[in-house]
Amino acid sequence: MAEDSCTHAGQTLRDMDHDRFLATLVVPQTARPGITALYAFNADVAAIRERVSGPQPGEIRLQWWNDTLIGDGHGAVRQNPLADALLTTIETYALPVGTLQRLIGARRFDLYDDPMPDLETFEGYAGETASTLLQLSAMILNGGRPVEQGDAAGHLGVAQAMIGHLRAFGRVSAQGRIMLPWSILEANGVREAEIFAGQDSEGLHAALSQIAELAGSHLAKAQTAIATLPASLRPAFAITAVLEQQVLAWQRHAAGAFSVPTEEASWRKIARLTWWALRNR
């Protein structure tokens, strides 16, 4: 990819998805541009709702990315540095375009205000988004050769999505959205109106604690699966080190479901990632 595109992808990722940016620092240098391009593409797609006035322009932006992937993009697509970086990565490592199209399709859910209905739907959404990035990152580390690491990517992706949405619960609910499984919230007596009003309750804490326990369970299963992988593939899963700290911090956090969690300093995250990478060589 062009050097400018690579630099732009890195800056985009640093600004829009800092934890994934930090995780790229512990992958081999040869694979870092490709993984960075993949993560920067995801960051752009994930942020579409924040940048548009409604679902329709969001759909248009998602369609632009879909057209870019299949070669139907209008104009000089390669002049877009993120598109150039992604397309170069796809060509270099023979990444499956259909997998990326499914990621785009899953992100359509983000554009609307329908609540996440149940755990099964949430796990499917996480699988097509967070787990997909882990799977493709491992493929890049494997030089473009397919790898069998479904359990590691599957469980870690679900854990990452759950922990992310637990931490973002207050911000997302203020937008009139419920991204965690509504069936779990409803089973604990939580009502939509209470969530959108920012009203804490015992039922809400119970529901979110159950989701945190599920995230911890998926994280533990991911760690077991990662340990069975070839050492050369494990750096794709280094974000585990950050997620471990985040779920523990959330469980110890007593300021309320809607409060913004304290963000650990980047240098501490880098230290965790580096130590994890050294232990998993």
pLDDT tens for 3-13 read: 788 899 999 99
Q: pLDDT category, 79, cuts 50, 70, 90? A: confident
Q: Does domain 114-280 have CATH number 3.30.1360.10?
A: no
Q: pLDDT category, 74, cuts 50, 70, 90? A: low
How high is the pLDDT of residue 262? 87
pTM of the model: 0.95
Mean pLDDT of 111-134: 97
Domain spans, the chain: 1-112, 114-280
How high is the pLDDT of residue 147? 84
At position 222, the amino acid (one-letter code) is A
Mean pLDDT of 70-93: 86
Distance CA 244, CA 204 (A): 23
Q: pLDDT category, 149, cuts 50, 70, 90? A: low
Per the listing, tokens 């199209």 go with 101
Q: pLDDT category, 18, cuts 50, 70, 90? A: very high
**Is residue 91 pLDDT above 60, yes or no?**
yes
**Are the C-beta atoms of 56 and 112 separated by less than 8 Å?**
no
| Mean pLDDT of all residues belonging to the chain | 94
Tokens representing 144 are 């473009």
- Beta strands, E only, 32-97: none
Looking at residue 258, the DSSP 8-state letter turns out to be T
Looking at residue 239, the DSSP 8-state letter turns out to be T
**DSSP labels, 143-197:** TT-----HHHHHHHHHHHHHHHHHHTHHHHHHTT---S-HHHHHHTT--HHHHHT
Mean pLDDT of 198-220: 96
**Is residue 75 pLDDT above 90, yes or no?**
no
**Is residue 255 pLDDT above 90, yes or no?**
no
% of residues, the chain, pLDDT over 90 = 88
